[in-house]
Chain A
Amino acid sequence: MCTVCGCGEGESRIEGQATDHSHDHDHDHPHTHDHPHSHDHDHAHTHNHDGDHHHYGHGPAHAHAPGMSQTRMVQIEQDILGKNNEYAQANRKLFGSRGMLTLNLVSSPGSGKTSLLTRTLSDLKQELSLAVIEGDQETSNDAERIRATGVSAIQINTGKGCHLDAHQIGHAVEQLNPQQRSVLFIENVGNLVCPAAFDLGEASKVAILSITEGEDKPIKYPDMFHAADLLLLNKIDLLPYLNFDIDQCIEYARRVNPGIQILQVSATTGAGMQDWYEWIRLARQTRLIGYKPQQATAASTPAR
């Protein structure tokens, strides 16, 4: 799946299970995702028509190749990341059909993402239905930390990969089967580059930047901060001990993304966390506008 960063296709595992539909394909096989597989078909049909225009079957001889009888022009008009985007659209549709809010948490390694998430889950689990997809290169340590809070979690190990892709998320959601009106957190692999390019079908990307990192991170990794709707400045309790210029950091973040919202939080002391919870509540409310609940039976089976 990964066409951006050279992640090995077929390397990823969801809770130890390979994601390549248990076919014994060589890992380098380029068509891993083209198996006659029901969800593949749905995607292609639903999304090729209303999204990009594919002019298949147009006859030979486009203007570029006059007089070349053997050759013909083929219109492709496909995004290089088009396949991922198709899977992302299918995920988005599923999330919409269940009235779910899905947040894609992105940051560098060590920003305190998992600590922030476990505190959030502990504080909100009585109030909201929650679920988590954890992405890491190896180990299920993070999913175990999440499960210790009592919230259901599923671990995706990306193997050589440096980000989660929409196809992995589709399978993880099938297995996790989140409830209607729930909030799904996807904790992406710690990396400020590649996850920016991969839509997972989420409502928003939430970037987490800890103040033990440099204040110029937003302009060093502009694509990620551009893609995020919310920036959480974490570890704010350490401010007295650091030379971190918060105003400068905020100014840099607004340069790459004038619309980004910024909250200062500390997952350790709890400072600012109420603001973050309020953001989640309101984001969830917007997802529920116009939402028509499915029948009770439909909730237990994936809508694809």
Chain B
Amino acid sequence: MHEMSLCEGILQVIEAESARQGFNKVKTVWLEIGDLSGVEIESMRFCYDAVTRNSLAQGSSLNIINLPGQAWCMQCSKAVNVKQRFDECPDCGSYQLQVTSGDEMRIKELEVE
């Protein structure tokens, strides 16, 4: 997807929070990114460094918590892991899957000073 602007969105949230919660420097950022969110992690890291330069998050480290893609298989009646939206069920091969999680893109928490 468009990681540069996702990183800009992260910085916007951080800046808004710094005003609200009174911190001036961010040391670490934890993100939760799902396997089905379409985010390229390597690209995200590269962009993060570029976007946070000369900001309160300059030099901060980016920790990405990966959340697996999960779906409900209607044939097997159980939750299964998927890598992409159009994956088949790993057990029965059916495409009758309803994705239940894995499209998260969240800022979880910050270490600040």
Interface residues of A (CB under 8 A from B): 2-7, 30-31, 34, 56-57, 62, 64-65, 68, 70-83, 193-194, 197, 218-219, 222-223, 226, 251-252, 254-256, 258-259
Contact = CB atoms under 8 A, between A and B. Distances in A.
Contacts of B1: 4-5, 193, 197
A222 B5 contact: no
Nearest to A76: B107
B59 interface: no
Contacts of A226: 85, 99
B4 A71 contact: no
Given A81-B9, A223-B85, A76 B110 contact: yes
B70 to A, nearest CB: 14
Contacts of A258: 74, 95-98
A76 B109 contact: yes
Contacts of B74: 258
B53 interface: no
Interface of B: 1-2, 4-6, 8-13, 15-17, 20-21, 23, 27-28, 31, 38, 74, 84-86, 88, 95-99, 104-113
Nearest to A58: B21
A74 B108 contact: no
Nearest to A162: B2
- Chain A to chain B: the 4 pairs with minimum beta-carbon distance, closest first: A3-B9, A222-B85, A6-B5, A5-B2
A62 B109 contact: yes
Contact of A222 (B8, B84, B96, B111): B84
A30 B97 contact: no
B56 to A, nearest CB: 12
Contact of B110 (A73, A79, A259): A73
A81 B108 contact: no
B52 to A, nearest CB: 13
A78 B105 CA distance: 9
A107 B9 CA distance: 25
A80 B4 contact: no
Contacts of B27: 71
Contacts of B113: 70-72
